[in-house]
Amino acid sequence: MEDLGIVIVNWNTADELERCLETVFASEGDFTYRVVVVDNDSDDGSPEMVREKFPRAELLETGDNLGYPKGNNVGLRHLGYHGIGEVDSDAPRYAVLLNPDTEVPPTAFYEMLQFMDSRPDIGIAGPRLTLPDGSLDKACRRGFPTPMVSFYHFSGLAKLFPDNETFGRYNMTFADPANELEVDSVVGAYLQIRKEAIEKVGLLDEIYFMYAEDIDWCYRVKQAGWKVWYYAPVTVYHVKRAASKKSAKAQFEFWRAMLIFYRKYYRHTTPFIVHSIILMALLFKGGPELWQEIRQPSASPMKI
């Protein structure tokens, strides 16, 4: 049984993926790991590059752009995680979701492994992520986008009062990035989850195409009794949106994901008037294409 099963979903980011894999296979420390690259029908030579330069990587070609959660689930199933109560005994002790536009320092995996081994109460953890300009990737430590937290964020109150624990909850801007802390969610650019947590809550929900599937996973893991942790002592470099910036669907899918997450976890406790305002705001942000999702909500296509 390996310690880590690392899943990298790629779509037309060959250059970033190559650099990512170089750093992954340069990892140091006393641990074992498998690397699964799931290619979502790239046409930029990504699969050929992986086969030629990284024969240790297990390449899975989907033949279609399945999206982020479904692509990750392909890799997770390959590693032996099949769903609630369906995890192979020899599946890695932890699964890691890693974006192809990340660069991992040599000891990052080992340090994250040691940390989670020392904290059995933590189901999911993520490191500090820094952007090309050296700033913090704010998505690496987040609060759940409840109606109020989302209002504070998108209304600009969070920007006006970033140090306030109420207004700054969306990106935890009230906390020093150098300090580790319990959070609601970490980001799927580097998300490390315990094997037992997957067995308890299942895989990523494929109702999403991209965005919010990581928040959803963290929500379910917290509901199941584990903590979610931002581990600042480990830093990973993140280019961010190397693939999604090429996709016209990205902006729409963000707001669609917000709508799905809201409906899944908050609609039943939201008064009708507030619910109506939320739908109007999402429609304004997401555009007319979001109307179909509002009228006929997508159903979760899988037992997660």
What domain range is 218 assigned to? 4-245
Consecutive H or E run containing 158:
helix 157-160
- Determine the pLDDT at residue 143: 95
Examine the domain organization and report whether 234 and 288 are in the same domain. Answer: no
Residue 193 near residue 226, CB atoms below 8 Å:
no
Q: Read off the pLDDT of residues 116-132 as tens digits, 9 standing for 90 and up.
A: 999 999 999 999 999 99
**What's the mean pLDDT in 13-42?**
96
Residue located via tokens 């690397």: 35
Q: What is the dihedral of CA 105, 109, 111, 117, to 10 degrees?
A: 170
For 133, the token pair is 């300009």
Q: Is the pLDDT of residue 248 over 80?
A: no
- How far is the C-alpha of 151 from the C-alpha of 251, rounded, in Å? 19
Q: Are 194 and 160 in contact (CB under 8 A)?
A: no
Give how many domains the chain has, as a whole number: 2
Weakest mean pLDDT among 84-93, 190-199, 280-289: 280-289
303 lies in some domain? no
302 pLDDT band (50/70/90 cuts)? Answer: low
Which of 173-187, 242-256, 272-286 comes out lowest in average pLDDT? 242-256
Six-digit token string for 256 = 């669609």
Q: In this structure, are 256 and 182 located in the same domain?
A: no
**pLDDT, mean of residues 22-46:** 96
In the listed set 245, 261, 286, which residue is the last one of a domain according to the structure? 245
pLDDT tens digits, residue range 62-102? 998 888 999 999 999 999 999 999 999 999 999 999 999 99
Are residue 120 and residue 264 in the same domain, yes or no?
Answer: no
Q: Does residue 301 have a pLDDT over 70?
A: no
Q: Which residue has the tokens 């109606």?
A: 147
Q: Could you tell me if 261 and 231 lie in one domain?
A: no
Q: Highest mean pLDDT: which of 141-145, 158-162, 248-252?
A: 141-145
Helix (H) or strand (E) holding 277: helix 272-286
Give the CATH number of the domain where residue 21 resides: 3.90.550.10
At 268, which helix (H) or strand (E)? none
DSSP assignment of 56-111, as one string? TSEEEE-SS---HHHHHHHHHHHHTEEETTEE-TTS-SEEEEE-TTEE--TTHHHH
Residue 33, number of CB atoms within 10 A of its CB = 20
Give the span between the Cα atoms of 240 and 273, in whole angstroms: 36
Measured distance CA(213)–CA(258) in Å, rounded: 10
Query: Average pLDDT in the 271-285 region?
Result: 86
Confidence at residue 151, expressed as pLDDT on a 0 to 100 scale: 87
Let me know whether 141 and 84 are in one domain: yes
Residues 124, 102, single domain; the answer is yes
